[in-house]
Amino acid sequence: MSQVVVVGAGVIGLSCALTLSEGGYKVKVVAANFPTDPLSSKYTSSWAGAHYRPFPSLTDKDYEDAMLTRVTYDYFKKLSVEEPESTVKWVQGVDFVEEKGIYGVNSRGYYEGIDDMKIVPREQYPPGVAFGASYTTWVLNSPLYIQYLMRKLTFKYGVTFTRAELISLKQISQAYPGHIIVNATGMGLQWDGGYDGDCFPIRGQTLLVRVPQDCLYLNKTVTHQSKDGLWTFVIPRPHHGGVILGGTKQLDDYQSTPKEEDTNALIERAKILYPELFIEGQLDIRNVNVGFRSARNGGLKVELEKYPGNVSVVHAYGAGGMGYELSYGAAKKVEEIVKGIWPKSKL
Amino acid sequence: MSQVVVVGAGVIGLSCALTLSEGGYKVKVVAANFPTDPLSSKYTSSWAGAHYRPFPSLTDKDYEDAMLTRVTYDYFKKLSVEEPESTVKWVQGVDFVEEKGIYGVNSRGYYEGIDDMKIVPREQYPPGVAFGASYTTWVLNSPLYIQYLMRKLTFKYGVTFTRAELISLKQISQAYPGHIIVNATGMGLQWDGGYDGDCFPIRGQTLLVRVPQDCLYLNKTVTHQSKDGLWTFVIPRPHHGGVILGGTKQLDDYQSTPKEEDTNALIERAKILYPELFIEGQLDIRNVNVGFRSARNGGLKVELEKYPGNVSVVHAYGAGGMGYELSYGAAKKVEEIVKGIWPKSKL
C-alpha cells in the first residue's frame, strides 16, 4: 500500500495532499488546525491576502522557487475556469517600487511565464516611484480556497483528516508505520521535536475592508514598495470577500492581537496611496487580521530526508509570505519526490 | 432614517436582510449564532440538505406558502447563473410516494411554476411506489450558501452583524429605538420573552457521505416517502460537499447528539433504496448531522404586529423543514410589509 501522511493542513499541506491524491496515492492529513476552525493566530493560511507577484531572482534558489510559483500560476489558470468555486480570479497586478534596485528588464526570473508583463510608462508613476510593472495575476479568497481544498480532498479523494497536537515527527512515524511522511508544518517540526532552527515567524497585520461598489481595487491588486522598506498593498478577495489592505512585515514580533498603531499607520498610508478605498472619508474596516508567515533562512525547503527505521520524510515548509504562490508548485515537487521513493502504478 | 434590525441570522433572517438591503434599507443583524460559527445544534441552517420539492396544497395557507417557494425558485434561477459562488445548482428532482393520497394531476399548487414537471411512468417505479413525479429543481450547499449571504451582506451592502443572546424582542426595541424589527428567530421569540406557543422543534438526523465519483446522486435528488411515514432522501451538496442521506422527522425529541439507531436505520434504508451510494459495500460517512427544524402549527408566520411605543415588528419564523425553499419568497414578503410601513425613496 502506497500510503502517505501529510502533517499540517495549511495551504502547503493541503496542496501536497491534493497532488498526491491526484497522483493516485492514498493520503491522510494530520494537523493541529484545520481551515474550518475559527480563525486563530496559530493557523496562518486563513489570513493571507493571497495574490501573485513575480520577483527578480538574486540566487539560483530564488530562481528555482520562482519557477515553482509559475507551476502554481499555470495550475490556477486551469482551476479558475474548471472550478470557479476555488475562488481563483484573474486581475491586473501592478507593482510600484521607490528604489529600483534589482527590478528591470534584465532581471532573471521576473518576466518568464507571466502574462501581459510590461513596464509601466514613467508618466503613470505615482510620486516617488522609480519603477513600475504591470501583469496579469491571480487573486483568491484565502479562507475559502483552503476550505475548498479540504472539501475536494474529503469528497473527491476520500482523504481523512485527524486532529493532533504534535511534538515531534517521530510520533507520526510511530502512529503511521510504513507511511511516507510529508512535513508541511510551516516552521519545520523536527524528528525529535522542536522546530527547524532556520525558521522564524514574520508578523503581518492587515485590514479587511469594505470598499465602494465601484472601487477599482475590486478588480486590481497594487503593491507599493517604499524607500523606507514599507510594503503597502491592496488585494481583492473574490466572492464578496472585501479587500485586504496591508501590511506589515515584523520580525521578532510575536503579538497575535492587532496593534492600533499598525492599523493607524496603514490607514495613513492608504489615504495617500489608495484613497479610492474610503467610503465617505472613512475606511470601513471589517476585521483586523494578524498572521505569522513561517519564513526560513534559505527560503522554502522541499527535500527528502531519511530517519531511523528507514522512514522517508519529505519536507515542505518555510514558504514565508509565499505560501499560496508556491503551493501547487511545491506540492508537485513533493509528489515527484514521493514517486521517486514509491512509484505508484495506475490503479 | 429607514433602519431595520433583523433578529436571527439563519437562512430566513439573512434572506430578509438581503431583500431589505436590495430594497435600499439600512440593515443591521443581531443574532446569537452566525453562519461562520462552528457547527452547533442551536443553529439549524447549517445542517439542511437543502433542495426543492413541490407539494400539493390542502389549504389556502399551503397554497400561499407554495407560491412563496416559487419566488425563491425563480430567484435561484438567476442566482445560479449570476453568482455561482452561491452554490445553487439545478438538477433532476424525483419524488416517489408509496401512498398516493393527495398527489396527482389535479393537486393544487403542485405543478405551477416548476420546470419539466411530469409524472414518472409507472413501469419506472421502485417496488411499493404508487406515485412518482420528476421535475427540475435546485440544490445548494447550505453551510456555504449562508456564509455567502453573510459575505454579500457585509461587503456589498455594508450590513453589520452583532452577537447577542436575547431573551425578548423588547430588548431589541430598547437597544435600537426607531428601528423596524424583523423577527426571524426560528421559534418566534416574543415581545416579553419566551417563544411562540405554536412553535415546536422537529429533530432531523442525516448522514453526510462521500460517494463514488460517478454516483448518479451527485446530480440528482430523490425523495422516497414510505407507507410507514418515513422519508428517505439523497441530496447532493454542490462544490465538493458530498451527499446528504436523510432523514428523520422526530417530534418531542430534543437529543442534539447523533443516535446510533437512527444512523443504522438510515444505512439499512439506503441499502435498499440507494445502493449506488456505497463504496466497496460501505457507506463512507463523513459526518452525522443533527438539526432541529423550527416548525409551527399553521406554518410559516409572516406578518406585521405592533407593540408598545408603536414599535413595528415583522415576524418571519416557523418555516419548519422549508427554510431554504421559503427563504427568498418569505423575505420578499417581509420587504413588502416594511415598504408598507416605511416607503423608501430611492437614494
Cell 445553487 belongs to residue: B88
pLDDT, position A185:
98
Is residue A345 over pLDDT 60?
A: no
Q: Shortest Cα distance from A37 to chain B (angstroms)?
A: 7
Task: Name every chain A residue with its beta carbon within 8 A of the beta carbon of B238.
Answer: 85
CA gap B238, B139 in Å, rounded:
7
Task: Please name which of B143, B2, B135 lies closest in space to residue B86, comparing C-alpha atoms.
Answer: B143
The answer to whether the Cβ–Cβ distance between B158 and A210 falls below 8 Å is yes
Long-range contacts of B12-15 (CB under 8 A, 24+ apart): B12/B184, B12/B186, B12/B316, B12/B317, B12/B319, B12/B323, B12/B326, B12/B327, B12/B330, B12/B331, B13/B182, B13/B184, B13/B185, B13/B316, B14/B146, B14/B149, B14/B150, B14/B153, B15/B149, B15/B327, B15/B328, B15/B330, B15/B331
Please tell me the predicted confidence (pLDDT) of residue A346.
44
Residues making up the annotated binding site of A for FAD are 44-45, 185
Burial of A179 (0-12, 13-18, 19+ CB in 10 A): buried
Distance CA B232, CA B192 (A): 40
What cell numbers appear for A107 in the block? 532581471
- A286 part of contact set with chain B, CB < 8 Å: yes
**E strand intervals along A70-117:** 89-97
Q: What is the pLDDT of residue A330?
A: 98
Query: Whole-angstrom Cα distance, residue A177 to residue B319?
Result: 51
Other Cβ atoms less than 10 A from the Cβ of A1: the count is 7
CB B35 within 8 Å of CB B9: yes
Which among A85, A87, A284 is the nearest to B158, CB-wise? A284
pLDDT tops 80 at residue A44: yes
Give the rounded distance of the alpha carbon of A5 from its chain centre.
21
**Shortest distance, CA B300 to any CA of chain A (angstroms):** 30
What CATH number is given for B1-51+140-198+297-347 in this structure? 3.40.50.720
Task: Name the residue with higher pLDDT: B101 or A15.
Answer: A15
- Give SS3 for A315: strand
User: Quick one: average pLDDT of A261-280?
Assistant: 97
What CATH topology corresponds to A1-51+140-197+297-347? Rossmann fold (3.40.50)
Q: Which amino acid is at A53?
A: R
Please name the residue of chain B whose CA is at the shortest distance from the CA of residue A151.
B240
Under the banding of pLDDT at 50, 70 and 90, the label for residue A66 is very high
Nearest alpha-carbon partner for A159 in B284, B270, B278: B284
Instruction: Report the complex ipTM.
Output: 0.94
Q: Does A87 touch chain B (CB under 8 A)?
A: yes
A296: Cβ contacts below 8 Å, ≥ 6 apart: A188, A196, A198, A199, A200, A317, A318, A320
What pLDDT, on a 0 to 100 scale, did the predictor assign at position A103? 85
Q: How far is A155 from chain B (nearest CA, A)?
A: 5
Does the pLDDT at position A282 exceed 70? yes
| Closest among B235, B177, B189 to B51, alpha carbons compared | B235
User: For a pLDDT cut of 70, what percent of chain A falls above it?
Assistant: 98
Does B185 belong to an annotated binding site? yes
Residue B321 labelled as part of a binding site: yes
Low-confidence ranges of chain B (pLDDT < 50): 346-347
Strand pairing report for B284-296 and B199-210 = antiparallel
Q: How confident is the model at residue A105 (pLDDT cuts 50, 70, 90)?
A: low
Q: Please state which of the ranges A5-9, A40-44, A199-203, B78-82 shows the lowest mean pLDDT.
A: A40-44
Q: Under 8 Å CB-to-CB from B140, ≥6 apart: which residues?
A: B50, B51, B76, B86, B87, B88, B89, B237, B238, B324
**Closest-CA distance of chain B to residue A85, Å:** 6
The mean per-residue pLDDT over the stretch A219-229 comes to 95
Q: What is the pLDDT of residue A11?
A: 98
Taking residues A205-233, what's their average pLDDT?
96
Rounded CA separation A217/A233 (Å):
10
Identify residue A246 by its one-letter amino acid code.
G
> Among candidates B201, B155, B204, B159, which has minimal Cα distance to B182?
B159
